[in-house]
């Protein structure tokens, strides 16, 4: 079997929404500047009206002479172009099941692409190659990885995009998702250091509201999205420690590893992060410095499924928890199914982003009573629902 062509499909469709998709946004590193602190959230699509979100997404197809097509996506336009302009020539005519060889050659070819869009492009290729491998052997990818360790994977509800400053709505949504069977939820802070004490008090009030609503026997995670500095993070941790968060996520931008180490010495709250880090070498920096308790590689960013397996192997040598960022549930469930439950106790389920990222897929691995069942289709399970595609074109370079 040989790769014959790489193609990027740009598809457009309409996602029904129950009101505006994004009720509130999270704090961001750029919010230290007041003109950006007021920026609205504009990601994921165009809100045509309160009931519809217009989506344009890119999916990578790797075609083979055996008629098998491996698919990955959605991915952003710039990584999609890098696949076509820089990586395709290394892949056409090659054996798509030789994932280690192809990964190494793509990585060595991109000497200026060890992070960012270039690594995201490589990650998409790797995930599509795993899709081909699973289809070629007639097995879901989790079986090729040595799974299953479980028949269902606990999911935590990741509440990005829900209102976080109206505490009545916070209580309502938190109770709603607990009733749906989720045994853990992650919420996102809206305020950072430049919002002053008023913003700090609102962050603390969010955590207090969650604990009062969800009770003592419930995991609550809190995401800072790289937006704090050391003094603020120490103060925040001191104020919310009594509410026993399961973890505090991405307190700082990823290159500030020493600051993570300093914070870890100051708090009993477990620290998670490295969602925005790349490759086993990037994660080695965090692990060797004992900067985190939970590492969170994004399979679609850090180097693909092949690289996530290596990151997890090194992290578990140090007895760290590995829970990939929830950018892609379809590939994430295969990883989680093959990992020890003690090291991967949860899979992140980004509620709103999954509605967006899985809109065009036929198979949607969604939680039922807080659990995601293992997919049974060969490969990753990335078949597109053609009935949802209103317009399509190939990406041109």
Could you write out the DSSP letters of every residue in 181-206? Answer: T-SEEEEE----GGGHHHHHHHHHHH
Tens digits of residue pLDDT in 132-160: 999 999 999 999 999 999 999 999 999 99
Among candidate residues 154, 149, 160, 212, the one with its CA nearest the CA of residue 186: 160
pLDDT of residue 39: 85
Please give the structure tokens belonging to residue 378: 């060969």
pLDDT at 359 over 90: yes
Rg (CA), the chain: 21
143-373: what CATH class?
A: alpha beta
User: Considering Cα of 127, then 128, then 131, then 133, what sign does the dihedral take?
Assistant: negative
pLDDT of residue 397: 64
CA distance 205 to 196: 14
Mean pLDDT value across the chain: 97
pLDDT at 42 over 80: no
Cα angle 167, 273, 188; round to 5: 10
The catalytic residues are 325
Q: Are strands 46-49 and 52-64 parallel, antiparallel or unpaired?
A: antiparallel
Name the CATH superfamily, with its identifier, for domain 3-138.
Answer: Enolase-like, N-terminal domain (3.30.390.10)
pLDDT at 43 over 90: no
pLDDT of residue 16: 95
The residues that bridge with 62 in the sheet, in sequence order, are 6, 70
CA distance 367 to 380: 17
Please state the pTM of the whole predicted model: 0.97
CA distance 116 to 4: 27
Domains of the chain, residue spans: 3-138, 143-373
Task: Note whether 115 and 96 are within 8 A (CB).
Answer: no
CA distance 338 to 205: 38
CA distance 214 to 196: 28
DSSP per-residue string spanning 236-261: HHHHHGGG--SEEE--S-TT-HHHHH
pLDDT at 38 over 90: no
CA dihedral 34, 36, 40, 46 (to 10 degrees): 170
Q: Helix (H, G, I), strand (E, B), or coil: what is residue 22? A: coil
């Amino acid at each position: 079997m040989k790769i014959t062509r790489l193609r990027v499909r740009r598809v457009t469709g309409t996602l029904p929404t129950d009101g505006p998709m994004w009720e509130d946004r999270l704090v961001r590193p750029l919010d230290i500047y007041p003109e950006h602190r007021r920026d609205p959230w504009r990601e994921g699509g165009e809100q045509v009206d309160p009931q519809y979100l217009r989506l344009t997404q890119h999916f990578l197809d790797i075609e083979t002479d055996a008629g098998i097509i491996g698919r990955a996506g959605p991915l952003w336009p710039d990584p999609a172009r890098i696949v076509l302009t820089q990586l395709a020539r290394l892949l056409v005519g090659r054996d798509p099941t030789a994932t280690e060889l192809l990964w190494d050659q793509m990585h060595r070819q991109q000497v200026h692409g060890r992070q960012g869009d270039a690594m995201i492009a490589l990650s998409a290729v790797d995930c599509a190659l795993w899709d081909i491998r699973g289809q070629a052997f007639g097995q879901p990818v989790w079986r090729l990885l040595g799974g299953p360790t479980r028949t269902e994977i606990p999911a935590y509800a990741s509440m990005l995009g829900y209102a976080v400053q109206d505490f009545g709505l916070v209580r309502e949504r938190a109770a709603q998702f607990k009733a749906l069977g989720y045994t853990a939820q992650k919420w996102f802070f809206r305020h950072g250091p430049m919002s002053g004490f008023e913003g700090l008090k609102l962050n603390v009030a969010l955590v207090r509201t969650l604990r009062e609503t969800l009770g003592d026997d419930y995991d609550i995670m809190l995401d800072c999205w790289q937006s704090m500095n050391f003094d603020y993070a120490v103060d925040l941790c001191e104020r919310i420690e009594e509410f026993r968060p399961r973890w505090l996520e991405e307190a700082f931008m990823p290159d500030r590893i020493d600051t993570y180490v300093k914070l870890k010495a100051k708090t009993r709250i477990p620290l998670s992060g490295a969602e925005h880090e790349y490759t086993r070498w990037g994660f080695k920096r965090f692990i060797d410095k004992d900067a985190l308790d939970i590492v969170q590689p994004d399979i679609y960013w850090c180097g693909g499924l092949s690289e996530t397996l290596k990151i997890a192997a090194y992290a578990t040598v140090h007895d760290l928890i590995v829970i990939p960022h929830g950018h892609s549930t379809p590939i994430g469930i295969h990883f989680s199914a093959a990992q020890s439950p003690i090291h991967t106790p949860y899979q992140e389920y980004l509620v709103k982003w999954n509605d967006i990222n899985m809109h065009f897929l036929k198979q949607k691995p969604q939680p039922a009573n807080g659990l995601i069942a293992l997919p049974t289709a060969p490969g990753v399970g990335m078949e597109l629902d053609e009935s949802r595609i209103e317009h399509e074109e190939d990406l041109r370079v």
